Amino acid sequence: MTDAYAPSRGTTEGRVYNLSGGDWDTVLGGTDPIEEERLVLNMGPQHPSTHGVLRLVLELDGETVTDARVVVGYLHTGIEKNTEYRTWTQGVTFLTRADYLSPMFNETVYCLGVEKLLGVTAPERANLIRVLMMEVNRLSSHWVWLATGGMELGALTAMTNGFRAREKCLDVFEMISGLRMNHAYIRPGGVAQDLPEGYDEKLREFIKGQHEELRGVDKLLTGQAIWVNRLKNVGWIGVEGCISLGITGPLLRAAGLPWDMRKTEPYLGYETFDFEVPTDDRGDSYSRFLVRVAEMHESLKIIEQVLDRLEPGPTMIDDPKIAWPAKLSLGPDGLGNSLEHVQRIMNTSMESLIHHFKLVTEGFRVPPGQVYTKVESPRGELGAHVVSDGGTRPYRVHFREPSFINLQGVATMAIGGLVADVIASVASIDPVMGGCDR
């Protein structure tokens, strides 16, 4: 074989080829050392591209993945066990930390469970505020998905833009609940406090800003050659695969089934809102990107409708045995019990003081039984199996975490693909390990 770029010459030791030659096949007699070897590659749990403390054990044949195992549990903090040692209200404080990118959904699904056990419903305004907070949270969660997913694929501008947009969502949370994360804002019976003054203007401005940011996504990523090539036909999973593996949320909708519990099993009055359920039929990572971005537009539509509908009214159930007596207000030293309430319990009414103390330290009792409540979180069906034995503490709280369940699809998506596509596949699932491991 002669090649202008791979010259060879005869020597006393035999024929010598230079290194730039493309004829190593003939030299090595047709054996490929890479094909003969099985490489087991450990990725994570401390790896910038595994979306948190996720560990992947990949078996590689060259660049092709022949086996993939997912190892979880590195962020297990016993949140479910801890709730069994606190009051029903304090349970919110723990569960909001489970999936830390969708705290409002964790709080809502748990509170809906407690309310179902109690046989009460929160006032209309409280439910609207819950819808508002959840939809802002859906935006912020999808922004983080876009930011981290982009970063894992090397699109650093997507990361900076995504986190900038998410910051605006966190500003909304801070304005309403006082905190950017770990809110414990939604409580059994309603929400912790009413919306602050001037919320309407700020939120309408926020909606405008988010539309602007979403236009930026369209300019930067939608249809952009590198982004499309990295995502299209990568990490495919169909409707049958999704259902048998229990995968719900944007992955199921990107595969073609319009299963969104806001439409199929409505809660909190979602059936009265005008919004679409975006779907796609290709079931690959690019479809998931399109579905999530379209969902963000729909969330903005819902937020706008909530703002139009909000009427003054109570934000906590009118039951002094459940609702905490104090109305929180912002004082010079931060958020706390309102001054009027403190004056009342310290100066005029001993009974109010006793009642306040009992309700905060002892909590309320919940009639025994078990319920399963579910909401459509940014990652799919988030379910809460809440059991009461009639006491002041949850007997058992189990979260059906979409991150935990959707991660079972990694092997299906990764095997047979390239190792670089594993990153795109895992990113397109959008697992949050805090929720997965709880």
Partner 1 sequence: MGGPVERPVPDDAAPDQNAADIVGSTPAPESTIDRQTDSPYGVEHKGMFGVSGSGDTTGFGGLVREPWTPPGAERPYGGYFDDLVDALYAAYPQAGEAISKVVVDRDELTLHIAREHLIGVATALRNDPALRFELCSSVSGVDYLGSQHRLHSVAHLTSMTYRRRVRIEVQVSVEDPHVPSLTGLYPTADWQERETYDLFGIVYDGHPSLTRILMPDDWDGHPQRKDYPLGGIPVQYKGATIPPPDERRAYK
Rounded distance between C-alpha atoms, residue 294 and residue 313, angstroms:
33
Q: Which of residues 233-262 bind partner 1 (CB under 8 A)?
A: 243-248, 257, 259
* Least distance to partner 1, CB of residue 370, Å: 7
Q: Are strands 190-191 and 186-187 parallel, antiparallel or unpaired?
A: antiparallel
Cis peptide bond upstream of 45, omega within 30: yes
| 398 belongs to the binding site for partner 1 (CB under 8 A) | yes
Helix (H) or strand (E) holding 285, with range, is helix 285-309
| One residue of 7, 154, 336, 390 binding partner 1 per CB under 8 A | 390
| One residue of 63, 85, 321, 339 binding partner 1 per CB under 8 A | 85
| 76 belongs to the binding site for partner 1 (CB under 8 A) | yes
Helix locations, 68-102, DSSP H: 79-83, 88-95
| 363 belongs to the binding site for partner 1 (CB under 8 A) | yes
| 61 belongs to the binding site for partner 1 (CB under 8 A) | no
| 110 belongs to the binding site for partner 1 (CB under 8 A) | no
| 55 belongs to the binding site for partner 1 (CB under 8 A) | no
Helix (H) or strand (E) holding 330, with range, is strand 328-331
Rounded distance between C-alpha atoms, residue 400 and residue 95, angstroms:
12
| One residue of 3, 167, 276, 362 binding partner 1 per CB under 8 A | 362
Sorted by sequence, the CB contacts under 8 Å of residue 235 that are 6+ apart come out as 284, 285, 413, 414, 417, 421, 424, 425, 428, 429
| 408 belongs to the binding site for partner 1 (CB under 8 A) | yes
Cβ distance 226 to 220 under 8 Å? no
| 119 belongs to the binding site for partner 1 (CB under 8 A) | yes
Rounded distance between C-alpha atoms, residue 124 and residue 273, angstroms:
14
| 404 belongs to the binding site for partner 1 (CB under 8 A) | yes
* Least distance to partner 1, CB of residue 116, Å: 6
Tokens, residue 255? 């595969």
* Least distance to partner 1, CB of residue 71, Å: 9
| One residue of 228, 391, 415, 418 binding partner 1 per CB under 8 A | 391
* Least distance to partner 1, CB of residue 243, Å: 5
Cβ distance 389 to 382 under 8 Å? no
Residues that bind partner 1 (CB under 8 A): 72-73, 76, 78, 80-82, 84-86, 116-117, 119, 243-248, 257, 259, 264-265, 361-363, 368-372, 374, 381, 383, 385, 387, 389-393, 395-396, 398, 400, 404-405, 407-408, 437-438
